[in-house]
Amino acid sequence: MTDRSYPLNTWYAVGWDYEIVRGRMLARTICNQPVVFYRRADGTPVAMDDACWHRLAPLSKGQLRGDNVVCPYHGLEFEPGGRCVHMPSQETINPSACVRTYPIIDRHRLTWIWIGDPASADPGRVPDLHWNDDPEWTGDGGTLHLKANYLLAVDNLMDLTHETFVHAGSIGNEAVAEAPFRVSHDRDRVNVTRWILNQEPPGFWGAQLGKPGPVDRWQIIHFTAPSTIALDVGVAVAGTGAPEGDRSQGVNGFITFAITPETEKTTHYFWAANRNFDIRNMSRTTIWREGVRKIFAQDEAILEAQQTAMDANPDKVFYDLNIDAGGNWARRKVAAMIAAESRSLRRAL
């Protein structure tokens, strides 16, 4: 059994694709594993353990020589596959001199690593966050470095009742907390659907719609285990058929989240706020991005405070409310992935 809270056989976002650039190394810890990232001359990304085979010096403090990494301590040189190709003061290279490398792929403006068994790294399983780079959508995003376990961030996004309390004044109002919601799940997916019908919109959404009067508002959470979320949100003029599928009298956003455990108690949280209307208006893109950034700073504060309180109360447990149904299903899907990994590990031993 493992006491890890995260599975390893999955794609995790390690950063925005622009953060990994040619000619420079980026050190980042993913699932407790320090990794160094860089790009080859042809632009393809590389991920390898950030610890030299010889004496474990961090390779990220070394240099790039073409597509290879040179250790900062005694100059061992590793090619992008992790094999040592040069050792100082000796002609024969010890064939076991390798550092581990990882499958890595650019997709939907993010770069993703498979930290588990490389044999099962299927590029077809990179989570679908196509709204980040679909030509019919536009948007931009940012990163939070959260001092909290990644599942607290998942819980936070799987229940938007907290908007009423954490985000009062921007996207939260009483109507959110009072509206009923529906949870469905299938294999590694969980969806939570909430419609808030015929209510005055909160400030942000009223401004986006640009028309006075009540709206039908939706929040449809699409979760893919272990920690990717696409949040379909919007408002339409009340009674114009949005719940039945006609969104033509409304405005729609897809907020995407790729949430990656850095350690058990810290998290890389990559978000982007996309929309499919007025897509050439860059100032609206900036207003959305900065508005959403402020909203997530409020989440960051409550999640870090929650983690601190959990650490200070190690004997206490969580209790469940109806509103936790989505988050609890997400946690069950994650637990099933972890259990499947330990079963296959036991079989292999």
Determine, following the binding rule CB under 5 A, whether residue 155 of this chain makes contact with Fe ion.
no
Instruction: Report how far residue 258's alpha carbon sits from residue 106's, in angstroms, rounded to the nearest whole number.
Output: 13
Determine, following the binding rule CB under 6 A, whether residue 36 of this chain makes contact with ligand FES.
no
Contacted by 46, from ligand FES, Fe ion, none: CB < 5 to 8 Å by type: none
- To ligand FES, the closest distance from the beta carbon of 48 in angstroms equals 13
Whichever of 36 and 152 has its CB closer to Fe ion, that residue is 152
> CA 274, 277, 283: angle at the middle one, nearest 5?
70
**Token pair in block for residue 238:** 């009340």
Instruction: Report how far residue 320's alpha carbon sits from residue 264's, in angstroms, rounded to the nearest whole number.
Output: 22
Instruction: Report how far residue 181's alpha carbon sits from residue 159's, in angstroms, rounded to the nearest whole number.
Output: 10
Of the CA atoms within 13 Å of residue 28, those in its CB half-sphere come to 25
- To ligand FES, the closest distance from the beta carbon of 82 in angstroms equals 13
- To ligand FES, the closest distance from the beta carbon of 63 in angstroms equals 12
Determine, following the binding rule CB under 6 A, whether residue 34 of this chain makes contact with ligand FES.
no
Near ligand FES by CB under 6 A: residue from 71, 209, 230, 334: 71
Rounded to the nearest 10 degrees, the angle between the axes of helix 325-348 and helix 150-158 is: 140
> Which 40-59 positions form the footprint of ligand FES (CB under 6 A)?
52, 54-55, 57
CA 295 vs. chain centroid, Å, equals 17
- To ligand FES, the closest distance from the beta carbon of 73 in angstroms equals 4
- To ligand FES, the closest distance from the beta carbon of 78 in angstroms equals 9
Whichever of 31 and 71 has its CB closer to ligand FES, that residue is 71
First to last CA, the chain: 13
Instruction: Report how far residue 220's alpha carbon sits from residue 299's, in angstroms, rounded to the nearest whole number.
Output: 19
Instruction: Report how far residue 59's alpha carbon sits from residue 215's, in angstroms, rounded to the nearest whole number.
Output: 55
In this chain, which stretch among 70-78, 96-104, 188-196, 272-280 interacts with ligand FES, using CB under 6 A? Answer: 70-78
Determine, following the binding rule CB under 5 A, whether residue 299 of this chain makes contact with Fe ion.
yes
Contacted by 145, from Fe ion, ligand FES, none: CB < 5 to 8 Å by type: none
Contacted by 147, from Fe ion, ligand FES, none: CB < 5 to 8 Å by type: none
**Alpha-carbon distance values, 210 to 108, 199, 213, 290 (Å):** 30, 15, 10, 19
- To ligand FES, the closest distance from the beta carbon of 75 in angstroms equals 6
- To Fe ion, the closest distance from the beta carbon of 87 in angstroms equals 52
In this chain, which stretch among 68-76, 301-309, 321-329, 334-342 interacts with ligand FES, using CB under 6 A? Answer: 68-76
Residue 183 burial (CB count, 10 A): 19
Residue 119, classed as helix, strand or coil, is helix
Using alpha carbons, select from 270, 287, 273, 294 the residue that is nearest to residue 170: 294
Number of residues engaging Fe ion in binding (CB under 5 A): 1
Contacted by 299, from Fe ion, ligand FES, none: CB < 5 to 8 Å by type: Fe ion
Tokens 């050439």, residue? Answer: 280
Judged by the rule CB under 5 A, the positions of this chain that interact with Fe ion are 299
Contacts with ligand FES, residue ranges (CB under 6 A):
52, 54-55, 57, 71, 73-76
